Amino acid sequence: MTILFSDRNLPNPLGPTPPLTGDERARLEALERENAKLRRINQVLMDRVERSMDVQGGAFSLFQTAIVLEQKVRERTLEVERALRELEDSHRDLARAKELADTMRTRLSEAIESVNEGFAIFDADDRLVLCNSKYLALWPEIRDRIMPGVRFKDIAELAASSRSVADAYPRPDLWLAQRLAQHRELKGPYIYRLSDGRWIQVNERRTRDGGVVGVYTDITDIKEHETRRRERELAEKSALLQATLDNIAQGVGVYDRDQRLVAWNERFAALLRLPDSVARRGASFAEFILHHAAMGEAGLSLRALMAPSCLVEQPWLDDTVLEISRNPMPGGGFVLTFTDITERKRAEQALRDSEQRIRLVTDAVPALIAYVDAEQRFRFVNKAYENWFNRAREDIEGQPMWAALGDLYYEARRAYILRALAGEEVTFELDLPGENGSPRYAVATYIPHFGEKRAGGKREVLGYFGLIHDITERRMAAEALADAKDSLERRVVERTAELTRLNEQLQQEIAERIAAEEALRLAKAEAEQANLSKTRFLAAASHDLLQPLNAARLFVSALGDLDQPEPNRGLVDNIDVALASVEDLLSTLLDISKLDAGAVRPEVADFPIQSLLGALATEYAAVARERGLDLRVVGSHAVVRSDIRLLRRILQNFLSNALRYTPACDGAGKVLIGCRRTPEGLRIEVCDTGPGVPADKLDEIFQEFRRLDTPCANERVRGMGLGLAIVDRVARMLDHPITVRSQPGRGSVFAVTVPFGRYARPARTLEAPVRTTTNRLVGIRVLVIDNEPAVLAGMRALLEGWGCTVATAASGDEALRALDTATPDVLFADYHLDNGVIGFTEIARVRERCGTQLPSVLITANRTAEVVEEAQSKGCHVLNKPVKPAQLRAVMTGLLG
């Protein structure tokens, strides 16, 4: 029986026995226990038989024993046979299972081998169970040592130590620990770069019995594609970065972590005047430092350049100033930026000079001047305020009003302060503490300072200007006048009698003068006819001048609508102010011609003279600066009564002559405009350091087309001899006396005396460009007809700046051809076109072609009532030249609405 059960130890000719399943292993163990049990029973029976035999060897006892023993042996033999049959069945089942397992293993091996990726299976103990050849091909250095039963940790150590994985260096131990952690966590996929340049993506999953299945995919082509794509994107970004650098005003140089120049623009090399050996790719920062060190004191600051980060200003070549900025980059390296801030520094200096001039002017004014912000804090006071407080302005500025004035004086002003901060201009009288306890009386005016408009249309009040005038003498004079009233009434009675006698004498003289006046009337009629002819000539010339002025105003308005740097914005505003002055000049000429014809009278009104002086200062500051002259305007708070436009024309001629004939003389040339109070009124004087006028020529200079042989500081702008003639006519018209004082070689003083006014009315100011938060004109189609190309270009620039689509035409035929493309929403037409054609005719042709009542605007320099009446009868709006952008925009918005 031992031989029957020993076949388990024999070698299997089919190869290693496949592992048994759980049921097969349990069944085999039960059979082995049964076999051992039968062996023990057999042994016990044999012992029993031997002990029960008769010692003498009796036959019957032996026979009886043999029968019992045979019976037992037969029973046990049958049981053993049954067990053997069952064992043979188990072996057959095991053989079939082994054959099936071999078949499945073969098929699994073939399936794994057919997979394009590397494939490996590890059991629950992390031992290699099966892998394909592609998995072994991943590790050519250690493939001979990879076989079933090898632990995953051993394979990873071999891969790290054999340099098969490029990512494992320079720290194989760190990579090995990371790889083992990934194998335990199974949160892939993971990507590794092999030493032969291939890239592998590892995907690992846990099996049902606790093992691990790993799929190793070669993604080298994908990585190379991504690398090429990244390189292409990097090249595009580099090109974009270079284009960006080349289009900025600053000089920029970029150094990498190795302090090598990797990017720069032409401005970097040109601004710093770098040689090609320094401004080249790969040039070291040390070469840049050595270049400037060799320049000595003329070079850049080495301390600023060597600092990790900096922002400094430094004088540079040709009297320029550079702003040097060094900023570190996150990945190492840094960026050097060099900005030419020369203009900005000059503007700052000019601003400081302007502030100093304002200080000088306000300190010279005897009135108390202050500015208070919305929080009722002093922000500016002049010298008179300092003297009143008997404190330095540093101790006043920045203080709240109640702290600086004291509770008593603050409460007296509090109601007026609140009204001023609410946007109301207020004037009131107050008492000031005087010397030795004597009372002092003053008139205070609070003028609000408005900011930008808010959403509701209201303008924000930023603060107010406070002006205080001492009227103590005027108050005392009023009291003295009241005392003198009684005595004057008595004197009037006495003088009345005397005047009655004189009246009788005057009646006789009047009769004589009537006869003389009749003779003069005929001579006057002839003079008026000659004057009317000249007036018509001036009107026609002014009309022709309005055409280019109209185009210039349109161009400046279009430029003003664009976003400009702050210095350019100031230039645009100054140009706009100068063009407005030209417009006023031409309008004044037209008004004078109408005054000569008796059609218009001067518009006399009360206004503060400072509004006129401030406009003149802005207008002529640039001219004086260009000619190297020192122009000073000393303001005044006086209120005068005159026509502001005609008075401005007088002062413009005075200033123009002073700036034209005063030589610069290395900065010694000066022009001053100021005011003096006289019993007759306010005398406005223009003083210069020019060559002067001889005494015998003072009357001659006011004649038309008469010029002295005085050398002109600027021959290009030499006048025609009409300026002072116009001054003389306007002054006589306004009844403003003109006086001249001059010393040859030392200069001249031209003055006009203007009567005082009683109250100030806001003076007309130049219109600022209209800026709205919402643009309702975007997309509007506009057709413009004008025979002047400059006007067409100006209208196109202005309207396109508002977002309109503009079509232009020099005649009606061109306008009709333009209708083939699109129908306009608004039509603008000039009144006078080529070949005697008028704008009304072309408007009618366009309207007939469009088939609708097209909104139309007639633009003309003819200001007669007949043109306006004809336009109204034809349903057209009228705009007078030069066209004001704000008025143009308002008309368009009204028509489209």
- C-alpha distances (whole Å) from 696 to each of 685, 743, 744, 786, 834 are 21, 12, 11, 52, 51
Q: How confident is the model at residue 27 (pLDDT cuts 50, 70, 90)?
A: confident
pLDDT at 732: 85
**Are residues 62 and 133 located together in one domain of the fold?**
no
pLDDT tens figures, 432-476: 666 555 677 888 899 998 887 776 667 888 899 888 887 877 777
CB–CB of 471/637 below 8 Å? no
Q: How confident is the model at residue 773 (pLDDT cuts 50, 70, 90)?
A: very low
Q: Nearest Cα to 663, choosing from 612, 611, 715?
A: 715
**Are residues 367 and 451 located together in one domain of the fold?**
yes
Highest mean pLDDT among 1-15, 141-155, 467-481: 141-155
First CA to last CA across the chain, in angstroms? 121
One-letter amino acid identity for 436? N
Mean pLDDT of the chain, nearest integer: 79
Q: How confident is the model at residue 53 (pLDDT cuts 50, 70, 90)?
A: low
Q: How confident is the model at residue 828 (pLDDT cuts 50, 70, 90)?
A: very high
Position 86 in a domain: yes
68: enclosing H helix or E strand: helix 59-114
pLDDT at 315: 86
pLDDT tens figures, 410-430: 888 889 999 988 889 999 887
Position 484 in a domain: no
Q: Which of 220-224, 355-359, 394-398, 564-568 has the lowest mean pLDDT?
A: 564-568
- Mean pLDDT of the region 471-492: 77
pLDDT at 749: 92
**Are residues 287 and 421 located together in one domain of the fold?**
no
CB–CB of 355/363 below 8 Å? no
- C-alpha distances (whole Å) from 570 to each of 275, 290, 802 are 38, 42, 21
Helices (H) and strands (E) in the chain, counts: 25, 27
**Are residues 37 and 119 located together in one domain of the fold?**
no
Q: Which residues have a Cβ under 8 Å from the Cβ of 612 and sit 6 or more positions away?
A: 644, 647, 648, 651, 763
Q: Nearest Cα to 887, choosing from 764, 767, 763?
A: 767
**Are residues 315 and 375 located together in one domain of the fold?**
no
**Are residues 617 and 690 located together in one domain of the fold?**
yes
Residue with tokens 């009796």: 58
Q: Which of 48-52, 194-198, 493-497, 515-519 has the lowest mean pLDDT?
A: 48-52
263: enclosing H helix or E strand: strand 261-264
- Mean pLDDT of the region 120-143: 86
pLDDT at 8: 40
Question: For the CA atoms of 621, 626, 632, 635, what is the dihedral angle to 10 degrees?
Answer: -10
CB–CB of 654/625 below 8 Å? no
Higher per-residue confidence, 825 vs 5: 825
Higher per-residue confidence, 523 vs 309: 309
pTM for the model: 0.32
Q: How many whole angstroms from its chain centre is CA 602?
A: 47
676 pLDDT higher than 90: yes
Q: Which of 10-19, 344-353, 484-493, 604-613 has the lowest mean pLDDT?
A: 10-19
pLDDT tens figures, 156-191: 888 888 877 877 777 788 888 888 888 888 877 888
Domain boundary among the residues 445, 470, 495 is at 470
- CATH number of the domain encompassing residue 370: 3.30.450.20
Position 509 in a domain: no
pLDDT at 341: 86
**Are residues 65 and 14 located together in one domain of the fold?**
yes
Q: Give 443's DSSP letter.
A: E
Percent of the chain at pLDDT > 70 equals: 82
What strands lie across the sheet with 670-678, from one edge to the other? 630-633, 670-678, 681-688, 747-754, 738-743
pLDDT tens figures, 321-360: 888 889 898 878 899 898 888 888 888 888 888 877 877 8
Structure tokens at 736: 């403003």
Q: How confident is the model at residue 234 (pLDDT cuts 50, 70, 90)?
A: confident
Could you tell me if residue 466 is left (phi over 0), alpha (psi between -120 and 50 degrees) or otherwise beta? beta
pLDDT tens figures, 687-726: 998 888 887 777 777 765 566 655 554 544 445 555 777 7
Taking each helix axis from N to C end, the angle separating 644-661 and 609-626, rounded to the nearest 10 degrees, works out to: 30
Q: Which of 491-500, 596-605, 880-889 has the lowest mean pLDDT?
A: 596-605
- Mean pLDDT of the region 130-156: 86
Q: Which of 140-149, 217-226, 510-519, 845-854 has the lowest mean pLDDT?
A: 510-519
pLDDT at 646: 85
d(CA 806, CA 791): 13
pLDDT at 31: 84
768 pLDDT higher than 50: no
Instruction: Identify the burial level of 28 via C-beta atoms within 10 angstroms of its C-beta, where 0-12 means exposed, 13-18 middle and 19 or more buried.
Output: middle
Position 62 in a domain: yes
Strands 856-860 and 877-880: parallel
**Are residues 149 and 272 located together in one domain of the fold?**
no
Position 235 in a domain: no
Q: Which long-range contacts (CB under 8 A, 24 or more apart) does 795-800 make?
A: 795/554, 795/828, 797/554, 797/555, 797/558, 797/559, 798/554, 798/555, 798/557, 798/558, 798/561, 798/885, 798/888, 800/558
Domain boundary among the residues 340, 368, 393 is at 340
Position 293 in a domain: yes
**Are residues 644 and 724 located together in one domain of the fold?**
yes
Three-class DSSP labels, 300-319: CCHHHHHCCCEEEEEECHHH
d(CA 805, CA 797): 11
pLDDT at 532: 62
**Are residues 702 and 827 located together in one domain of the fold?**
no
Position 38 in a domain: yes
pLDDT at 684: 94
- CATH number of the domain encompassing residue 607: 3.30.565.10
d(CA 701, CA 618): 27
**Helix, strand, coil abundance in the chain, percent, nearest 5:** 55, 20, 25
Domain boundary among the residues 415, 438, 470 is at 470
Taking each helix axis from N to C end, the angle separating 566-597 and 644-661, rounded to the nearest 10 degrees, works out to: 120
**Are residues 825 and 749 located together in one domain of the fold?**
no
**Are residues 94 and 135 located together in one domain of the fold?**
no
Say how many domains are in the chain.
Answer: 6
390 pLDDT higher than 90: no
607 pLDDT higher than 70: yes
d(CA 658, CA 672): 9
Range of the domain at 189: 115-218
Position 511 in a domain: no
Residue with tokens 């003279």: 609
pLDDT at 388: 74
- Mean pLDDT of the region 246-251: 81
